[in-house]
């Protein structure tokens, strides 16, 4: 059975969360200029750690490594936290 990107990103988000990063999978993320929604991983983890997490949880990591990213917005004023990015394939 072939794994889906949603499954890989959900598992990667869980691994990133256990590593201390804020992370979640968004099943219907609509990026600017996109024609349709895509599965995305939202996290404050650096790029190399995102790649590591995907590689650790996927059977075929190369098929699921994110190729694009964008800022996910600012941390609300008065709240602590690192800036988050949205990663998608």
pLDDT grade for 32, boundaries at 50, 70 and 90: confident
Which residue has better confidence, 30 or 84?
84
pLDDT grade for 76, boundaries at 50, 70 and 90: low
Question: Are the C-beta atoms of residues 6 and 27 closer than 8 Å to each other?
Answer: yes
Q: What is the pLDDT of residues 33-71, one digit of tens each?
A: 778 889 999 999 999 999 999 999 999 999 999 999 999
Residues whose CB falls within 8 Å of the CB of residue 28, separated by 6 or more in sequence, listed in order: 37, 39
Which residue has better confidence, 7 or 74?
7
């Amino acid at each position: 059975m072939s794994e889906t990107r949603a499954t890989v990103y959900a598992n990667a988000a869980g691994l990133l969360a256990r590593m201390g990063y804020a992370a979640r999978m968004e099943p219907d993320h609509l990026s600017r200029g996109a024609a349709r929604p895509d599965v995305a991983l939202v996290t404050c983890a650096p790029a190399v750690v995102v790649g590591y997490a995907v590689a650790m949880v996927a059977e075929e990591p190369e098929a699921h490594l994110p190729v694009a990213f964008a800022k996910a917005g600012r941390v609300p004023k008065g709240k602590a936290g690192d800036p988050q990015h949205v990663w998608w394939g």
